Amino acid sequence: MNNIIQLIAGKVKGEIEENIIRVLEGEGNLDDIVDSVGEMVNDIGIKTIQAIISELNSIIKKSPERSGKYHVHKGKVERTLITKFGELEFERAYYKNINENNYVYILDELLGIEKYERVEGNLKGDILDKSTDVSYKKAAELSTPVDISRETVKKIIRENGAIGNLELDIGKKRKVNTI
């Protein structure tokens, strides 16, 4: 855990120094600083989440309760989720239940990640909020640095209910004389 803290501190220090040098040399401005700090914060967020997930996976593997009921079927199975920080890639173990003869990702269950889920829950909520005011594509762009298709946004909306602003006020039809 100390390694991730040292890594973050070093990254922040380096980013500060880099931005100061760029501005003093006339190669940067506030917009550049905001962009680079935003990218750094997203990178730190992803690395922190990866460290937490990796630690949880290790704890599950070493757990005596787990070893009595489950054995490791596959040691490292990759998973990718899209979050508000970007694309989160991590590895977790695939377990076989000794008694019931079924298979499970214990880490996914612990974290509340659904099967085949590609977009993280908080990001889905953010996209739902933004999609009421802007286009589907713009809602995705405002929510995460990762490209999400309009179709994925539509799927998120359909899975999680309707949007309130879709009602149109259709007036009375006019009758037009034919020529």
| Domain residue ranges of the chain, discontinuous segments joined by + | 2-118
Q: Which residue in this structure is represented by tokens 């990254």?
A: 11
| pTM, to two decimals | 0.77
| 34/28 Cα distance (integer angstroms) | 11
Q: What is the pLDDT along the chain (179 residues), one digit of tens a residue?
A: 667 788 888 888 888 888 888 888 888 888 888 888 889 999 999 999 999 999 999 999 998 888 889 988 988 999 999 999 999 999 999 999 988 889 999 999 999 999 999 999 999 999 999 988 899 999 999 998 999 999 999 999 888 865 555 555 666 777 778 76
